[in-house]
Amino acid sequence: MLWRNSFFNNLKEFRYVFLFGIIIFAFNIALQYYNFSLFKKNKHYLIENAILLQNYTKYNKKNKKYWILKIQAKDFTFYTTSFKDLNLSNNQLLNLKIITENISFKDYLSQIFYVPSYDLEKLKIKEQNAIISYFLNQHTNEKIREFYGALFFALPISKDLRNDVNHYGIAHLIAISGYHIGLIFSLIFFILTPIYSFFQKKYFPYRNLRFDLSILIFILLFSYTYLIGFVPSYMRSLTMAIFGFYLICKNIKVLNFFTLFASIFICICLYPKLLFSIGFLFSIMGVFYIFLYLHHFSKSFNAFFNVLFLNIWTFFAMTLPVIYFFPLISYQQILSIFLSAIFVIFYPLSLILHFIGIGDLFDFALKEFFNFKLYSINVQIPFWIFISYIVASLLSIRFKLLALFCIFSNLLPFIIIVI
């Protein structure tokens, strides 16, 4: 049956859980709409003590310079513009008024939108957390500071660094997500295992080492959410990691498509704003294509080749979806296949180096790394191709040849570069 090896025992149980999820989703939507109604009551809404996340310049069609501001309020993040140079700095606290007239419920629900503003008042610079300052003050180059700030603390990056990241196709390595949770979990587990094992053998041999350490590490990971400011992508990944841990404890098969789709359903019911999150979509698709490879090909090769082919498979599987949202394409992005493997070593090593105060060890290499550029072009993927690819990918659960066709179709953007 469809729910075999999943956390549902029968169709009746599935129906009850599905109905309960729909009720939770409806409640959350109703709550958000109530908050939206209160928000829209004031056409000119005063926001106090907002944090400036980013501040960069652009030019309009008349070649007039203006400033784009990305600001974090208590309940949402928004973009606004200013035609005056206000001499603002990142992490500056601001008071300002926004005009809510054109904000739709969809915009509010997504919790990130553009809005006109006025009466902007500069306040003090928000003091950075001592731990964050300790890490970032080990670097003198601003781009490298941004890189490590994003890598360890989910801080926003400049347009310049984002362009460098897109050329390499490594945005998924920079943005804190489930990949990083897995690396942090493994590192802490590796460090704590011999210490816990020593005391376990001597004082409490009846305890389960893996279970106890997992609980402790999840507590530490929750503490990390406070440090980085409850970043949605991290919270989403941590929630799914805990859910996966629960399934393992219950001896329920985790690598199961039905379990994946049920997990997505639960996340959306709890956090409706995920419906508009590109990061959430990429997370879903990344896990889906990993499952798709394991479903069709994991028994065809040994462990070494499975790891190798899975890395290549996932890169090409995600090429079309990523280009649809971020249209830059370059042969340089193929390097991300190897960079993903190197990152498994680089991330924990750089984390340890920062803890002992020599985090700048790789700074020169990173500056050269980001300065390297190959030829790139922008490729616009039509919406119908994107949707067709999604549908074909879902159907490829049943058809192995269709799965191969989907993956090989991702070679087309790289052929276009030559043409």
3-class secondary structure, 61: coil
CA 223 distance to own-chain centroid: 18
Domains and CATH numbers, the chain: 42-127 (2.40.50), 133-182+246-418 (no CATH)
What one-character-per-residue DSSP string does 385-417 give?
A: HHHHHHHHHHHTTT-HHHHHHHHHHTTHHHHHH
Which residue, chain included where needed, has tokens 């500069």? 122
The predicted-structure confidence for 92-115, as pLDDT tens digits, reads as follows 899 999 999 999 999 999 888 999
Among the listed ranges 65-74, 273-282, 393-402, which one has the minimum average pLDDT value?
273-282
Tokens of 320: 């079309």
pTM of the predicted protein model? 0.85
Q: What sign results for the dihedral spanned by CA atoms 325, 328, 329, 332?
A: negative
Read off the tokens for 64. 């007039």
105 close to 275: Cβ distance less than 8 angstroms: no
Say if CB 32 and CB 272 are below 8 A apart: yes
Mean pLDDT of 256-264: 81
Q: What is the mean pLDDT of the chain?
A: 88
DSSP state of 254: S
To the nearest 10°, report the CA torsion of 410, 415, 416, 419. -170
Predicted pLDDT of residue 1: 46
Q: Tokens 């958000």 identify what position?
A: 32
In the structure, what pLDDT confidence band is assigned to residue 419 with cuts at 50, 70 and 90? low
- pLDDT category, 234, cuts 50, 70, 90? confident
Between CA 68 and CA 80 the distance in angstroms is 6
**pLDDT higher than 80, residue 38:** yes
95: left (phi over 0), alpha (psi -120 to 50) or beta: beta
- Comparing 416 with 146, the larger pLDDT belongs to 146
The contacts of residue 415 (CB under 8 Å, 6+ apart) are: none
**pLDDT tens sequence across 67-80:** 899 998 888 899 99
Q: Which two tokens stand for residue 174?
A: 């920079």
Band (15; pLDDT cuts 50, 70, 90)? confident
Distance CA 269, CA 275 (A): 10
Q: Lowest mean pLDDT of 137-151, 229-243, 343-357, name the range.
A: 229-243
Q: How many residues does the chain have?
A: 419
Q: Is the pLDDT assigned to residue 171 strictly greater than 90?
A: no
Gap between the Cα atoms of 392 and 395, Å rounded: 5
- Say what the pLDDT of residue 6 is: 55
